Chain A
């Protein structure tokens, strides 16, 4: 029986197509893995399944019945549930209280015969029994009475799964469930998934970790750039094939990068043994070292969430390095504030355009000077020089071809590509010594991609040192002189761009070294 079937499902955000004519079927009682790089459209597709947004066109069938979900509630009512990457639990409540939240059982008062009245008091005993029974059915290691706040991350995830199971969900979607787990917990989760399958549940697993795919799934669907690029039975494929499908071999955007000999050039930017921890105390950068010479582009490849964001944050002053040093022409600039780094000549194209790069609600001119607003051209004796700021804006609009309806208006009126050009214009105009570019072309139209790539190469010609972080492998391979691959907060490989091969890099990105030795073994220890 077919659990979910889609026919030409398409989801567009403005000009950007996140899902392009997706037609897939998901069989009942199977574990289907959906793999792809970040931005490939997996999450968008799942959110459509789960009723978080509506498709632009196309049809969705659940149990062979055409559905139009308006909210997750509709999806749950249809027996379709999602286990989110970020748990939605109340830490101070017990396991059973969390599961029953919103659908509490009330004590009933017998009036006479069959007539019963619901009292406002919760029947704790009955709730606990029901939840414990559910836990035992699926053989989850949990105690209904435990406080959720005291549980491990893996156990919390099990509570989250139970929440869905209790609501009679037959199709479970897991959005990168292992991203938050330690290796042992990953094994437990995979066991649980198999158990769920045995009980007749249908499971959709979103992931980019190939080990999990190979271990539990029955079918693999590979997505790239919003399209389905392959559907295979897991038994008939191998990690290398999936990795190649994921990153894709076609290079559709060729910009001219002239070869040059860099060996004689001085080192401009040097990062030595950088480590850092996130707010949960988890080590997310482990002993990162690299150096960039003048006129060199160093590409950082890797599946997203392997420490690249943290690396850029540390280098741009938004996160503190616990160990290690960063030097610019032998000047120590470790853990300096963002304004000090800018003054040193470090320009940053941040990862999230609308979070760190721009302020949508502010005007174009305000955005074009942000970070450099203390500069003498724009600010004298604490007062902003409006005239020269506006002149600066007008010249940049022309120079960087920013297409804007109202130059005096807000940034929110700009399309993704033009908004990115605002950041590019601002950072490139500051004439930096080093450029840190993180996902510079994400969600940007083809024309702007070309423009941005050419600008980056222009900087290279001007002998600037450039760090390019991107999850788009073709971008990295086209632009970089050297490529390092990050996996789990560490650098797992370095390749010269001349003899780089996307399949090998793809394997490194998945944590498998190209010589066939499986690194996941050592992770389990």
Chain B
């Protein structure tokens, strides 16, 4: 019950605040929301579009969950996704005359390998030198931004393009749309990874160890789980899935690498939001990813059917991020307990101190 409330409360609160804003513009929030939901989830083409956008988010969400659940904070999912996408692009436009399926697989593999290589340094630093992985992975994201900027404006720039962009990937490396809908085979790749990760989380020895390490690392070490080694394995899995997410998104949607490829706030950060919303549980993540993608699809229809600007969806996303950060911080640092304790001790100690001091004199 509490768990369900923990997931639903931020969403409901977000929509309530969103509603207040819509009312303030002078529009009807109920109509706006119903357009958003109907068009993104209860309309065939809309649903396909939602699932298409959900694909990379399912992956980045899983990439976050696999480390966060073990209390390892890999903030480098965004960087791994971008870097994976970039090198998948390079393979996508430079290899000529490769059969379609092989080319796609090669591109995806490039993304995976890039993601792994990107996740390894912070993993090794964490496991062997106890360097805080949160700081290292966070900072590495900026390294990625600069590297890809340098490469995309220099060696790999498409001179025919009017803005900073690499060459487009070849047709043989693209995920094609199925039956004229927006969905591509990439969605099924994402679902397959989800299925594997569900087994890993719920059924496997590794899942058991992830849970144990997250809850009590000392116990896990004493039980012979070799926490160092597991940290590296989990970071590698996380990096691989992130790289796959970036590569797949590029091959199914963007086709060429631009500097704003990952969007705002970015696939990795969206993934973090989704994983938090889904409680680091695979099923929760897939639901959260579809919900989050539905917001995006819905936003395109809001402008068409109502007078509410579609930016309202950005507002809703931002409020959701705010609520989830509070939830995360509360879980990690016990904010609410501390605040309560602080208020209590303040009011009490003042009373007691006054009494005793008075008596001493």
Interface, chain A (partner B; CB < 8 A): 62-63, 65, 67-71, 73-74, 77-79, 316-318, 337-342, 348, 350, 355-362, 366, 370-371, 373-374, 379, 382-384, 386
Contact = CB atoms under 8 A, between A and B. Distances in A.
Nearest to B202: A384
Interface residues of B, number: 31
Contact of B212 (A350, A366, A384): A366
B353 A74 contact: yes
Contacts of A73: 345, 349, 353
A383 B224 contact: no
A362 B215 contact: yes
Contacts of A350: 222
A359 B199 CA distance: 22
B225 interface: yes
Given A65-B360, A74-B353, A337-B226, 7 more contacts: A63-B359, A65-B359, A70-B345, A77-B356, A359-B216, A361-B216, A383-B199
Given A67-B356, A362-B211, A382 B219 contact: no
Contacts of A370: 212, 219, 223
Given A63-B360, A71-B345, A366-B212, A337 B206 contact: no
Contacts of A62: 356
Nearest to B352: A74
Contacts of A374: 205
A341 B226 CA distance: 13
Contacts of A342: 224
Given A74-B348, A339-B226, A348-B222, A373 B215 contact: no
A73 B216 CA distance: 32
B349 A70 contact: yes
Given A70-B352, A77-B349, A362-B215, A382 B206 contact: yes
B357 interface: yes
B218 interface: yes
A318 B225 CA distance: 11
Given A337-B224, A366-B208, A374-B205, A74 B218 contact: no
B332 interface: no
B351 to A, nearest CB: 9
B311 interface: no
B353 A77 contact: yes
B203 interface: yes
B205 A382 contact: yes
8 contacts: A65-B360, A67-B356, A73-B345, A339-B225, A355-B216, A366-B211, A370-B219, A379-B205
B206 to A, nearest CB: 7
Interface in B187-220: 199, 203-209, 211-212, 215-216, 218-220
B221 interface: yes
A366 B225 CA distance: 14
Interface string B337-361: 0000000110011001100110110
Contacts of B348: 70-71, 74
Nearest to A341: B224
A409 to B, nearest CB: 15
Nearest to B354: A77
A334 B300 CA distance: 65
Contacts of A359: 212, 215-216, 219-220
A358 B206 contact: no
A183 B163 CA distance: 73
Nearest to B222: A356
A360 to B, nearest CB: 8
B1 to A, nearest CB: 16
A355 B218 contact: yes
B222 A338 contact: yes
B208 A65 contact: no
Contact of B223 (A68, A338, A360, A386): A338
B204 A382 contact: yes
Given A68-B352, A366-B208, A384-B204, A356 B219 contact: yes
Closest 9 CB pairs of A and B: A339-B224, A356-B222, A338-B224, A77-B353, A371-B223, A370-B223, A359-B216, A70-B348, A73-B349
B150 to A, nearest CB: 38
Given A359-B216, A383-B203, A74 B221 contact: no
Contacts of A74: 348-349, 352-353, 356
Nearest to A343: B224
A79 B353 CA distance: 10
Interface in B29-53: none
B212 to A, nearest CB: 6
Given A70-B345, A70-B348, A384-B204, A65 B224 contact: no
Contacts of A339: 223-226
A356 B220 CA distance: 7
A173 to B, nearest CB: 17
Contacts of B206: 382
A115 B344 CA distance: 34
A121 to B, nearest CB: 26
A373 B345 contact: no
B216 to A, nearest CB: 4
B352 to A, nearest CB: 5
B222 A357 contact: yes
A370 B352 CA distance: 48
Given A70-B345, A361-B216, A374-B205, A78 B226 contact: no
Nearest to B345: A71
A77 B357 contact: yes
Contacts of B211: 362, 366
A282 B280 CA distance: 41
Nearest to B199: A383
A375 to B, nearest CB: 10
Contact of B356 (A65, A318, A383): A65
B223 A318 contact: no
Contacts of B205: 373-374, 379, 382-384
A355 B217 CA distance: 9
A357 B357 CA distance: 46
B215 to A, nearest CB: 5
A342 B223 CA distance: 9
Nearest to B341: A71
A41 B360 CA distance: 30
